Amino acid sequence: AAGVIQSPRHLIKEKRETATLKCYPIPRHDTVYWYQQGPGQDPQFLISFYEKMQSDKGSIPDRFSAQQFSDYHSELNMSSLELGDSALYFCASSLGRGQISTDTQYFGPGTRLTVL
Amino acid sequence: AQSVAQPEDQVNVAEGNPLTVKCTYSVSGNPYLFWYVQYPNRGLQFLLKYITGDNLVKGSYGFEAEFNKSQTSFHLKKPSALVSDSALYFCAVRVRMEIIFGKGTRLHILP
């Protein structure tokens, strides 16, 4: 079965640079979520989109922005990168159909961002 | 605030023995509870979820979880552990669009 695709899988950037992470949800899934997992930590929710509109917002820094496109893929844009942004960034997708709380989120393999 | 707690950082079990990974929750309203597993350098894989209905939920790879409302627990169980079950397990609760994860329990299955 098709899964969530994330690209790139690994990314190395310098401080103050920008980065763009891409997420392609499972076909027919209309909702995407972004999470950040620091070293040895549990994943933390950043932001979500349903039908191309932001649906919920978590601990996403102001330096980050995200959007969902008409084909439901999503991009997380990160500017003025800091050393502390080094983490594993997960995208997840679900088939919302209005069931906000009960639908299962399926996670991609993650993008490992290293900021030097 | 909605949260889940995993009291054990690590659990060691001999192969073939039953395993339990503990989770307790603190939720206002109906809890929507999940278990995910993370293998090294890989993403989070969905194991099972409790929304409503039977307290015993069966999931992938032979895992099951028991929802206990009076004890506010959602422990993950498997009757016979495999070495390949060794991984990091996260209990989680769904709050609006967000999944809130516990700190994770590292499960070691000893051959």
> In the prediction, which pLDDT does A103 show?
82
Contact B43 A104 (CB under 8 A): no
pLDDT tens for each residue of A3-34: 999 999 999 999 999 999 999 999 989 899 99
Contact B43 A43 (CB under 8 A): no
- Which residues of A are less than 8 Å from B27 in CB distance? none
Chain B nearest-CA distance from A16, in A, is 26
Q: Does B94 touch chain A (CB under 8 A)?
A: yes
pLDDT tens for each residue of A25-81: 999 898 999 999 999 899 999 999 988 899 889 999 999 999 999 999 999 999 999
Q: Is the peptide bond between A8 and the residue preceding it cis, with omega within 30 degrees of 0?
A: yes
Contact by Cβ (8 Å): A35, A57: no
Query: In sequence order, what are the beta bridge partners of A76?
Result: A21, A66
Contact B96 A56 (CB under 8 A): yes
Burial class (CB in 10 A: 0-12, 13-18, 19+), A14: exposed
Question: Using CA atoms, how far apart are residues B34 and B91, in angstroms rounded to an integer?
Answer: 6
Q: Does B3 touch chain A (CB under 8 A)?
A: no
Question: Using CA atoms, how far apart are residues A74 and A77, in angstroms rounded to an integer?
Answer: 10
The tokens for A56 are 């919920």
State which residue of chain A sits closest to B91, comparing Cα positions: A42
Contact A43 B90 (CB under 8 A): yes
